[in-house]
Structure 1
Amino acid sequence: MNKPTTAPLQDRVDSVKLHKAIASGKRPSPPNPAASTMAFATRALLRIKHIPEQLFDVTAFPIIFLLMFTYLFGGAIAGSTSDYLQFLLPGILAMTVCQITMYTGVDLNNDIRKGIFDRFRTLPIWLPSALAGSLLVDSVRYIMASSIMIVLGLILGFRPEGGIVGVLGAIALIIVFCFSLSWIWTTLGIVMRSEKSLMMASMMVLFPLTFVSNVFVEPETLPGWLQGFVSINPISLLVDAVRGSMHGTATLQDISWVLLASAVLIILFAPLTMYLYRNKK
């Protein structure tokens, strides 16, 4: 009879030795959702540190927009740039911050095209943390843009009758709304095949919403058929709440409409984004 071979036993011994040589310690447990989210937030901050020109949209653009619209249209619309500034600044603040939300989708689209996106999906982490970390840092960018515009406005003569509490409340409303609005661009960032197509789609949505609103003029001065759109425009609802908060005239209804619009955007687009994120081919 043939003697039993010792090859299988030797293979098991070699496998055990190899395992000890490679991983002698205990495998670390996966990070919790908070830790993985902060890791991706740190990644986004480091990217800004090494490419500081990314902050151009939250530093230079707000200054250019405020100066241009105040001194270009102030005299024609309100008869006084000082009077128009009191009306314009809350609206243009909301408009400017809403427009820079599109870069959330642009960053995600770049990660997909570079292959980093696929690497993230293979990691043993809470999957939404890759998006949540980026959105968290974007909130910091929104605060920077808001602070720059408000400081410049105060220098130019803006006087918020709602005081510091009203200003902080207005910034909080903007951050909440823009956070919810960003989910639209993350959805498009996954669907669109290039950065240019994403930028084009974002502009086609944002420009009508921000310019056909109550940012620059009172809705009562518009044609009747246009007033209906302006009254239900989410940007107009945000501007009403921000303007009222800064000047101390905001009502619970104004704030509730903004929170409701934000909730609807998150409910619609956050699950859709995560579905596409998990099933992206």
Structure 2
Amino acid sequence: MPSESSTLHTPAEARVRPVQQWWALSGRGVAKVFRNGEFVFAFVSPAFLALCFYLPLSALMDVYGVDYAQFLMPIIVLQSVGFAASSAAMRASFDDTEGINTRFRVLPMPLVVPMFARLSTNAVLLVVSLVCAAVACLIIGWRPMGGVVGTIGLFVVALIVGLLLGLLADGIGLMAGSPQATSQALVFPTLILGMASSGFVPVSQFPEWIQPFVRNQPISQFVDVMRAADTGSLTWEILRPTVWWCGGLFIAAVLLLRLGNQKVRA
């Protein structure tokens, strides 16, 4: 028969245990990110992207009176966010294919603990990616023009978008079934939406027939909000489409995570 002291401490231990599990799994995830060299790629990716587009196009954009370092900054940040999301999806996919989720399922662990641990790892990598992107942009000549509030707003938008994309990517990784399928599910949409956006060139430089798509797709809307924040001209009219897109991303992420967790339990 259990003693009175053990009976009293059991509920407290049960409440603490999921937090301890989350902390341990988060530490495991962050350590794995370090070992895999993802932090190195978090810097190389935005730096490479900035140089590849800034060097050949900056002189051309000067003809149109565009400061290309300022113009390019939001898409470099968003591409870094995309890198963090891709890493999130691959991490979830590897956990699934390597049987880690199956082992977690037989442990006395709430199903949401591994998901929140992956989210914590993704958040750490996302913050590192944003810092690296900011450094890369400063190197090519970007300077904050919206003051403290505008600059904070710019990175808050990027952080929120990054967290939502990380959740969505986590669900994709659980659903895709293999790292190869996960990579294909992420690369093509990211590539198409990134290139067919107002991130690299103004909308007016696209053929007229595709301009409505370029103007209204989510990457362009995120870019517009970040540019407006960076210049201190952000209004609700500019922000509203991004709020709707973020809501859509959240709903899609919840649905995919629900389906992915059902798949893990099966």
* Aligned twin of 1:261: 245
Say if 1:128 and 1:274, in contact at 8 Å, map to a contact too: no
* Aligned twin of 1:225: 209
Instruction: Tell me by how many angstroms 1:250 deviates.
Output: 1.6
* Aligned twin of 1:95: 79
Select which of 246, 255, 263 maps to 1:271.
Answer: 255
Q: Deviations over 1:178-200 (max 9, x none)?
A: 21122332222122232122112
* Bigger Rg, which one: 1
- How far, CA to CA, are the matches of 1:185 and 1:233 in structure 2? 19
Select which of 22, 25, 28 maps to 1:37.
Answer: 22
The AA in structure 2 aligned to 1:189 is: G
- How far, CA to CA, are the matches of 1:149 and 1:46 in structure 2? 22
Runs of 4+, deviation exceeding 6 Å: none
Say if 2:76 and 2:137, in contact at 8 Å, map to a contact too: no
Secondary structure of the structure 2 residue equivalent to 1:158: coil
The AA in structure 1 aligned to 2:115 is: L
Instruction: Tell me by how many angstroms 1:88 deviates.
Output: 1.0
Greater per-residue helix proportion:
2
Q: Is there any run of 5+ residues in structure 1 with no aligned partner, and where?
A: 1-15, 20-24
Q: Does 1:111 align with 2:95?
A: yes
Q: Does 1:207 align with 2:191?
A: yes
Say if 1:97 and 1:142, in contact at 8 Å, map to a contact too: yes
Instruction: Tell me by how many angstroms 1:33 deviates.
Output: 5.4
Select which of 176, 189, 195 maps to 1:192.
Answer: 176
Instruction: Tell me by how many angstroms 1:74 deviates.
Output: 1.1
Select which of 145, 148, 167 maps to 1:183.
Answer: 167
Select which of 18, 33, 47 maps to 1:48.
Answer: 33
Say if 1:177 and 1:259, in contact at 8 Å, map to a contact too: no
Say if 1:162 and 1:246, in contact at 8 Å, map to a contact too: yes
Say if 2:69 and 2:142, in contact at 8 Å, map to a contact too: yes
Say if 2:22 and 2:116, in contact at 8 Å, map to a contact too: yes
Structure 1 window deviating more from structure 2 (39-48 vs 194-203): it is 39-48
* Aligned twin of 1:157: 141
Q: Deviations over 1:109-155 (max 9, x none)?
A: 11111111112223333322211221222122222222222233334
Q: What TM-score comes out, normalization by structure 1 length?
A: 0.82
Superposed, 1:115-126 pairs within 5 Å as: 115-126=99-110
| Percentage of identical aligned residues | 23
Say if 2:175 and 2:256, in contact at 8 Å, map to a contact too: no
Instruction: Tell me by how many angstroms 1:207 deviates.
Output: 0.6
Q: Deviations over 1:211-239 (max 9, x none)?
A: 11000111122222211111221111111
Instruction: Tell me by how many angstroms 1:96 deviates.
Output: 2.9
